[in-house]
Amino acid sequence: MTVEVLLFEMIKRISIAVVLGLIVSQMRFFDRLIAHKLSTKDSTIFIIIFAGIAIAGTYAGIPIDDALANSRMVGIMAAGLIAGPRIGGIVGLLAGIHRYSLGGFTALACAISSILEGLLAGVIYRYSPRTPIPAGWALLIGCIGELLQMTIILLVATPFALAYHLVSEIALPMTIANSIGLSLFIKIIKDSMHRREILKASQSQSLLAIARQSVSYLRQGLTPDTATAVVKIIKKHTAYAAVSVTDTERVLAYIGAEANHHGPERPHPLTSVTVESLRTGKIHIAYNHDEIGCNVPHCTLQSALVVPLTIKDTIIGSLKLYYTEPSRIPDASDIAFAQGLADLFSTQLELTEIDRQAKLTEEAKMQALHTQINPHFLFNTLNTISSLIRTNPEAARRLLIKFSQLFRFTLQYTGRIISFQKEWEQVSAFLEIAVARHGDRLFVTHTIDPALFAYGIPSLTLQPIIENAIKHGLQPREEGGSISILGAVDGDDMVITVIDDGVGFDNDPTYYLEHPPEGHIGISNVHKRLQGIYGKKYGLSITSEPEEGTQITIRLPRELPEEATRRHISTI
């Protein structure tokens, strides 16, 4: 076979390696490769792929004098130039072992040269670790690698005459073809990296624009109105066919393709891919229409990317990005962009929640102070103490101490997560004053599991509930009534129940929690603070019957004060 024919055949076979390089540049772990964040799993996949390219080059070789004119070097040196000496050396070792197993008088020489080529490329990688070397340099390095292989064949293969004859036939075409192949391979990788860098820059600009325009809306929390504003902003700055935001139960806003049945105006259950993302707290990708989980016939949505939105560790909703083109599926850049958006939104919503908690804490403090410095409360308390000074000085002294404790507690502990024991001491002081004020018109009983005293509770959680029961439940009755306070452990939760036999009410109990009328903000404040700190699972529940009484149940997780303070939003 002439040199020209051999060169032509080699170049045809090189195209296989070039196509494989194009495929590699589109793989998902390629972004982590660029960022030098390959995990052990990624490194293993990389080694397998490039060893496979090298072995494929061996199998595609052209038999010449009991040897093979092949393109094995392209996969080996590309691995070293892209990922360094360790991976280059391992790929060279695997390809060399494979070549040795095929036999032939050059088997040992080719195995040795394969290992050295991988290590050589890896050493060159050290001088350009952040980006592959230019294609022109790769062409030169490919020539050096092939010259190294030819030299080793001459030094190791026997008989020397046959080795010399082989080298004289294959050296030039293999050097030219494989150097061109390596150069093209590296150029494909560099071009892919460049395109991704441009895409990342474009996405970064879009993220900044979206963040800048959406911040004023997200500061109001996650509501249908704010979600609608945000999805319009995202749609304006991206090419997604549709954008949606949900809470944990329903679609809050939707814009784009198929809005007629995916939007909040036509409420449907959340799609299965959304439900799964909310359940696991992880990004989920639907690669086709069936995986989206839409049961409406002829829906044009073809793929979707769902990213959870969180406040601290609590999932509060999701961001969904859709494509309608069957050939377009979310890739690594989409995932990075969506995750960046979700992180921005989650951070902003968390800051909003911190602000809200701070306002609720301040409201609780002011409400408690208002109760304590309310002229009616002050007058009645001081009048009670005054009347006891002559008849029962010790009781008057004790009430005065309790009265001062209320003020000190409010100023010192409001906004903190304290032990239930400390909260109960404050409640006991409040109850002692209340019983002294109301006399026989107020009867209080309590059954508290001692195990509760060690666990944490936000300060001023229990007093507003009891104060509400006295003021709105018992005081309207001329004969007064009774209050029972129960505290118990329920699995991983602590449950405190306040029951009164007062006037009750027949309105929707949730109305007092979500939209409290004037004079009822205390229990609403407690409910919102607990849900803000611990999540929607916790807070208050109310049951009431007119003229029979009201029961308010407080549920919160069983945690030590230190654990709760570290884990939840600090509202000090």
Q: What is the DSSP string of 152-218?
A: HHHHHSSSHHHHHHHHHHHHHHHHHHHHHHHHHHHHHHHHHHHHHHHHHHHHHHHHHHHHHHHHHHH
Please give the residue that has the higher pLDDT: either 87 or 7.
87
- What pLDDT shows up at residue 353? 64
- What pLDDT shows up at residue 354? 60
Q: Is pLDDT above 80 for 562?
A: no
- What pLDDT shows up at residue 369? 43
Over residues 509-513, mean pLDDT: 76
135 to 37, 129, 170, 353: CA distances (angstroms):
24, 15, 23, 52
Q: Is pLDDT above 60 for 370?
A: no
Q: Respond yes or no on whether the N-terminal peptide bond of residue 159 is cis (omega within 30° of 0).
A: yes
Judge whether 375 and 245 are in contact, CB under 8 Å. Answer: no
Q: Is pLDDT above 70 for 73?
A: yes
Q: Which of 352, 392, 362, 398 lies closest to 532, judged by CA?
A: 352
- What pLDDT shows up at residue 572? 38
- What pLDDT shows up at residue 38? 63
Residue 81: helix, strand or coil by DSSP? helix
Question: Amino acid identity, residue 77?
Answer: M
* Structure token digits, residue 424: 């109960």
* Structure token digits, residue 486: 């129960």
Q: How far apart are CA 440 and CA 442, in angstroms?
A: 5
Residues paired with 244 in a beta bridge: 254, 320
- What pLDDT shows up at residue 197? 65
Strands 442-448 and 481-490: parallel
Over residues 329-340, mean pLDDT: 73
Judge whether 476 and 430 are in contact, CB under 8 Å. Answer: no
Measure the N-to-C terminal CA separation of the chain; round to a whole number of Å.
85
Please give the residue that has the higher pLDDT: either 434 or 199.
434
Over residues 288-308, mean pLDDT: 84
CA 87 to chain centre: 31
Over residues 95-120, mean pLDDT: 91
Q: How far apart are CA 173 and CA 167, in angstroms?
A: 10
227 to 185, 338, 550: CA distances (angstroms):
45, 16, 37
Q: How far apart are CA 203 and CA 334, in angstroms?
A: 9
In the chain the domains, ranked by start, together with CATH numbers, are 3-198 (1.10.1760.20), 219-349 (3.30.450.40), 374-567 (3.30.565.10)
Q: Is pLDDT above 80 for 207?
A: no
pLDDT in tens, 236-261: 888 888 988 888 888 888 988 888 88
Question: CA angle, 179 as apex, 173 and 182 as ends, to 5°?
Answer: 135
Q: How far apart are CA 139 and CA 136, in angstroms?
A: 5
* Structure token digits, residue 179: 């150097």
DSSP 469-490: IIIIIITTSTT-EEEEEEEEEE
Q: What percent of the chain has pLDDT over 90?
A: 16
Please give the residue that has the higher pLDDT: either 310 or 538.
538
Q: Which of 251, 255, 258, 349 lies closest to 297, judged by CA?
A: 258
Residue 308: helix, strand or coil by DSSP? strand
Residue 67: helix, strand or coil by DSSP? strand
Q: How far apart are CA 546 and CA 553, in angstroms?
A: 18
Measured over the CA atoms of residue 260, residue 264, residue 268 and residue 272, the dihedral's sign is positive
Q: Is pLDDT above 70 for 564?
A: no
Judge whether 520 and 493 are in contact, CB under 8 Å. Answer: no
- What pLDDT shows up at residue 481? 93
What are the backbone angles phi and psi of residue 170, rounded to the nearest 5°?
-105, -15
Confidence of residue 33 (pLDDT cuts 50, 70, 90): low
Q: Is pLDDT above 60 for 403?
A: yes
Confidence of residue 569 (pLDDT cuts 50, 70, 90): very low
- What pLDDT shows up at residue 100? 92
Over residues 103-117, mean pLDDT: 91
Please give the residue that has the higher pLDDT: either 7 or 355.
7
CB under 8 Å to 10, separation ≥6 — which residues?
62, 69, 71, 173, 174, 176, 177, 178
Among the listed ranges 27-41, 62-76, 247-261, 366-380, which one has the minimum average pLDDT value? 366-380
- What pLDDT shows up at residue 362? 56
Over residues 383-401, mean pLDDT: 73
Mean pLDDT, the chain, whole residue set: 80
Confidence of residue 204 (pLDDT cuts 50, 70, 90): low
Q: Is pLDDT above 90 for 326?
A: no
Identify the top-confidence range among 62-71, 279-288, 339-348, 441-450. Answer: 441-450
- In a 13 Å sphere around the CA of 496, the CA atoms on its Cβ side amount to 26
What are the backbone angles phi and psi of residue 365, rounded to the nearest 5°?
-65, -45
Residue 96: helix, strand or coil by DSSP? helix
pLDDT in tens, 137-163: 888 998 999 899 999 999 998 899 998
Judge whether 292 and 304 are in contact, CB under 8 Å. Answer: yes
Judge whether 60 and 71 are in contact, CB under 8 Å. Answer: yes
Judge whether 454 and 560 are in contact, CB under 8 Å. Answer: yes
- What pLDDT shows up at residue 484? 95
**H or E element in which residue 14 lies:** helix 3-25
- What pLDDT shows up at residue 571? 39
Q: Is pLDDT above 60 for 307?
A: yes
Q: Is pLDDT above 80 for 327?
A: no
Q: What percent of the chain has pLDDT over 70?
A: 76
